[in-house]
Amino acid sequence: MIIENQEYKVIAIKEDNLGLANSNDIKKAIETELSNGNKYIALDLSELNSINSAGLGVLIGILNKVKVQNGTLKMLNINERIISIFKITKLDLVFEIGK
């Protein structure tokens, strides 16, 4: 997917709820993309309906890994419930959120 003239690898989170128990697949997918040289990553959150504090920690960890590679992480297709969680926690100021 091209976003702002840059090719992004889109990774869909196929979970209804994101927490510590189901975060390993997402972390592995990010690590694989980074090791393959893809440092521009977009997470498609269209299927995500809830996230707990551990899930937010996972997303922050992913963001840090991408930044270490001088990459960019964008969040796409976020529903209003998740957006409100991001706003309450001020993570909307940390993550790049797109459509």
Q: Which domain holds residue 36?
A: 2-98
pTM of the complete model:
0.88
pLDDT digit of tens for each residue in the chain (99 aa)? 555 557 899 999 999 999 988 889 999 999 999 999 999 999 999 999 999 999 999 999 999 999 999 999 999 999 999 999 999 999 999 999 986
Quick one: which of 12, 10, 36 has its CA closest to 26?
12
Query: What pLDDT is stored for residue 98 in this prediction?
Result: 82
Residue 73: which CATH number?
Answer: 3.30.750.24
Q: Is the dihedral of CA 54, 60, 66, 68 positive or negative?
A: negative
Work out how many domains the chain is built from and give that number.
1
CA pair distance 14, 16, nearest whole angstrom: 7
